[in-house]
């Protein structure tokens, strides 16, 4: 006992202090010249719930801490509800709660790796999932494509998803989270649909990102372009040299991915446009405007008794719903108060075409060739080589 108290115990304390100093230095040491240096052990913060009236948390062996970092004892599952700027759980109030487990934390019955952080935002509960970037990518693959696709297409998806995530993290480094879990950024549903092929694609491309001029690019991508990818300036107004648009007949080999139809009443269209903030009433027709060189509608005119209201093709698509008007590459016909839409492609059309990448992989192209085709002039680099 004397040996433990006088020798071993002080030694253990010294070792712990040294380790704490090392960890602090690793995570808090300022970047040189104000730059951001990405690393292979990168973490990412994903908003998986934005403003919910309640959230259910469950899991085995969960470690729970409050805003002060104090460990709490809870019996699971628990239901968390917001009250003003606090979280109510089992009759107790907290400003912030963090849940973590060695396996998974279940948020509203969906499993997530890493840590789930709950707080109040926009009068509801916000849940942020913080986890290693590479684990996030494994969970993302089958949300964006199928890991059963040719492995070279799956690897291409892993790289662009990693590139997009790091680019967003740099842009939002001071924000509470780096990405959303929907089509606003990248679709992510936790670890429920992970599999070995998704993990293989991530592991075999570990740390690889696309760069242009030494900088990590904005790696936009979409489901299907319908024949030609789009230039970034035609969608968002910003011209990027590696997002000029390329010919892509590859996705057309899969009609189910490229062609779509939808019918909506003029009343429904008016309601959706009004909900999106467009001030109009009495809509009796809509007319297509000019198309760009890629065949995408630049503008739509909504006719009302007070005159025509011009709405950009992309704004119209957003108002109607991205899953409804799947692209701005469409024609329309009005008959007896109903509008029939016929289109091709799915998504904004910028960057990599996922179904096109699948066909190119089937044709024997490797992931490097697939990426260089859809992002001309870019270069693959390891995160460890970027400073």
Domain boundaries, the chain: 44-132, 225-350
Give the mean model confidence (pLDDT) for residues 42-57. Answer: 97
Residue 328: per-residue pLDDT: 94
The yes-or-no verdict on residue 236 having pLDDT over 80 is yes
Cα separation, 242 vs 293, whole angstroms? 18
Taking 70 as the threshold, does the pLDDT of residue 206 lie above it? yes
Q: In this model, does residue 148 exceed pLDDT 70?
A: yes
Residue 4 pLDDT more than 70? no
What local confidence, expressed as pLDDT, does residue 359 receive? 96
| Among 4-8, 59-63, 281-285, 361-365, the least confident range | 4-8
Q: Answer yes or no: is pLDDT of 18 > 90.
A: no
What is the per-residue pLDDT for 33? 29
* Res 49 pLDDT > 60: yes
| pLDDT confidence tier of residue 30, bands split at 50, 70 and 90 | very low
């Amino acid at each position: 006992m004397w040996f433990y108290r006088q020798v071993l115990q002080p030694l253990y304390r010294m070792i712990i202090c040294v380790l704490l100093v090392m960890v602090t230095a690793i995570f808090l040491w300022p970047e040189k010249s104000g730059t951001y240096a990405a690393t292979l052990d990168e973490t990412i913060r994903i908003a998986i719930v934005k403003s919910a009236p309640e959230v259910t948390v469950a899991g085995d062996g969960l470690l729970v801490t409050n805003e002060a970092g104090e460990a709490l004892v809870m019996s699971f599952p628990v239901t968390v509800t917001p009250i003003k700027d606090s979280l109510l759980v089992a009759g107790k109030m907290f400003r912030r709660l963090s849940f973590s487990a060695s396996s998974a934390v279940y948020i509203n019955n969906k499993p997530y790796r890493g840590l789930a952080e709950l707080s109040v935002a926009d009068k509801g509960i916000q849940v942020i999932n913080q986890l290693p970037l590479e684990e996030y990518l494994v969970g993302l693959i089958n949300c964006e494509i199928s890991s059963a696709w040719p492995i070279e297409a799956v690897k291409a998806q892993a790289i662009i998803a990693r590139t997009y995530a790091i680019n967003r993290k740099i842009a939002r480094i001071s924000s509470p989270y780096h990405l959303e879990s929907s089509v606003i950024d990248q679709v992510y549903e936790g670890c429920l649909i992970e599999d070995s092929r998704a993990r293989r694609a991530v592991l075999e491309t570990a740390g690889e990102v696309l760069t242009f001029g030494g900088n990590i690019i904005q790696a936009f991508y979409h489901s299907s372009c319908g024949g030609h990818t789009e230039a970034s300036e035609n969608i968002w107004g910003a011209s990027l040299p590696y997002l000029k648009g390329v010919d892509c007949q590859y996705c057309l080999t899969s009609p189910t991915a490229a062609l779509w139809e939808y019918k909506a009443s003029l009343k429904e269209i008016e309601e959706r446009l009004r909900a999106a903030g467009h001030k109009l009433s009495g809509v009796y027709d809509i007319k297509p405007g000019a198309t760009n060189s890629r065949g995408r509608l630049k503008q739509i005119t909504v006719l009302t008794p007070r005159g025509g209201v011009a709405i950009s093709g992309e704004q119209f698509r957003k108002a109607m719903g991205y899953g409804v008007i799947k692209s701005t590459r469409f024609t329309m016909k009005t008959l007896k108060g109903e509008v029939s839409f016929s289109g091709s492609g799915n998504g904004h059309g910028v960057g990599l075409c996922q179904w096109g990448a699948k066909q190119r992989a089937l044709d024997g192209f490797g992931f490097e060739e697939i990426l260089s085709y859809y992002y001309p002039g870019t270069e693959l680099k390891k995160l460890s080589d970027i400073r």
